[in-house]
């Protein structure tokens, strides 16, 4: 536990070092939300419908507020850290420690999540509660939402770690990362709710891990599911975490063998 908190503290502290960066990131989310607000207001006005794909205008806006919130909380760029470390050889230092690489990165990532929670998420929550009239879910669904987000943080980490591992073979994975970001914006439900996609796509999404990162937690908050459905979804989410955890572990072994065999 000492190692864990030690490393996560470091992630936290590194994140807070640069004050300007810190304050600018505070206005990023409100700004984006203003854009989405006006975009969807005009879409609803022109269509003349009260409900589009199961969402009222109010719900749609809340969807984006929550999307920002969840997206910020689960944001993970360990693949970029890994890419840098492998390219300039700094991973050597990480490998010399008596803690596994995956654990070291996770702790730093988690520390940054704590920081994000304090400086980015709490302001959004305060603003949405007092100014945007975001309706709160029942206590039960609220708790389930928190659980789902927590699991999404884990899922995103292990998935991103797997992506980062490719850098051991490819050295430069910026291209892969850009494609990943673009594709995931769709598959997570960050750009538009997944219900906007044709049914065929939606049935495919069900079998992918990505909807569990954003779309599912948000809709738990909006109470779009029955309780029994939520239980099933959270179980599948957990299974995905385990799958990526084992992939990450196995591939890391191969990656290390490659690294130690060929050098860099």
From CA 8, how far away is CA 113, in angstroms rounded? 9
Q: Are 23 and 123 in contact (CB under 8 A)?
A: no
Q: Please give the biggest Cα pair distance in the chain.
A: 64
Chain centroid to Cα 185, Å, comes to 10
Residue 14 interacts with other proteins (CB under 8 A)?
yes
The DSSP call for residue 136 is P
What's the rounded Cα separation, in Å, for the pair 62 and 134? Answer: 6
Q: Do 134 and 65 contact (CB within 8 A), yes or no?
A: yes
For 49, the token pair is 């419908």
Q: Which of residues 106-145 bind other proteins (CB under 8 A)?
A: none
User: Of the two residues 31 and 96, which places its CB atom closer to other proteins in the complex?
Assistant: 96
Q: How far apart are CA 164 and CA 151, in angstroms?
A: 20
Does 250 participate in binding other proteins (rule CB under 8 A)? no
Least CB distance from residue 18 to other proteins, whole Å?
A: 8
Rounded to a whole number of angstroms, the minimum distance from the CB of residue 241 to other proteins is 25
Taking the least distance from each CB to other proteins, the nearer of 49 and 90 is 90
> Which position among 9, 87, 180, 249 is part of the footprint of other proteins (CB under 8 A)?
9
Both structure tokens of 2: 């000492």
H or E stretch at 18: none
* φ, ψ of residue 11 in degrees (nearest 5): -60, -45
Q: Residue 254 interacts with other proteins (CB under 8 A)?
A: no
Site map 144..183 versus other proteins, x via CB under 8 A: ----------------------------------------
Nearest residue to 123 via CA among 194, 203, 215, 26: 26
> Does 6 participate in binding other proteins (rule CB under 8 A)?
yes
Residue 223, number of CB atoms within 10 A of its CB: 17
Binding mask 75-104 for other proteins (x = CB under 8 A): --------------xx-xx-xxxxx-----
Supply the minimum distance, in Å, between the C-beta of residue 164 and other proteins.
18
Per-residue mark of binding to other proteins, 43-62 (x: CB under 8 A): --------------------
Does 42 help bind other proteins (rule: CB under 8 A)? no
Q: Give 89 or 135: the residue with its C-beta nearer to other proteins.
A: 89
- Applying the rule CB under 8 A, the residues between 198 and 237 that interact with other proteins are none
The CB-of-240 to other proteins minimum distance in angstroms stands at: 29
Collapsed DSSP state (helix, strand, coil) of residue 124: helix
DSSP 210: G
Q: Which chain residues interact with other proteins by CB under 8 A?
A: 2-3, 5-7, 9-10, 13-14, 17-18, 89-90, 92-93, 95-99, 257, 259-263
């Amino acid at each position: 536990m000492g190692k864990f908190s030690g490393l996560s503290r470091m992630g936290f502290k590194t994140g807070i070092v640069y004050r300007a960066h810190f304050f600018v990131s505070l206005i990023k989310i409100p700004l984006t939300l203003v854009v989405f607000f006006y975009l969807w207001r005009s879409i609803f006005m022109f269509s003349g419908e009260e409900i589009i794909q199961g969402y009222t205008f109010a719900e749609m806006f809340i969807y984006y507020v929550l999307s920002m919130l969840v997206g910020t909380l689960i944001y993970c760029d360990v693949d970029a850290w890994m890419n840098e470390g492998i390219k300039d050889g700094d991973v050597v230092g990480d490998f010399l420690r008596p803690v596994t690489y995956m654990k070291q990165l996770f702790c730093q990532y988690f520390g940054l999540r704590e920081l994000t929670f304090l400086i980015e998420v709490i302001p959004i929550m305060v603003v949405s509660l007092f100014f945007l009239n975001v309706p709160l879910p029942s206590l039960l669904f609220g708790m389930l939402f928190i659980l789902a987000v927590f699991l999404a943080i884990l899922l995103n980490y292990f998935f991103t770690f797997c992506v980062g591992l490719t850098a051991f073979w490819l050295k430069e994975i910026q291209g892969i990362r850009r494609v990943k970001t673009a594709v995931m914006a769709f598959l997570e439900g960050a750009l538009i709710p997944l219900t906007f996609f044709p049914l065929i796509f939606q049935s495919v999404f069900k079998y992918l891990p990505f909807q569990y990162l954003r779309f599912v937690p948000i809709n738990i908050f909006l109470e779009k599911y029955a309780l029994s459905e939520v239980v099933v979804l959270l179980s599948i989410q957990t299974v995905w975490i385990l799958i990526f955890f084992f992939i990450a572990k196995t591939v890391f072994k191969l990656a290390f063998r490659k690294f130690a065999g060929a050098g860099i």
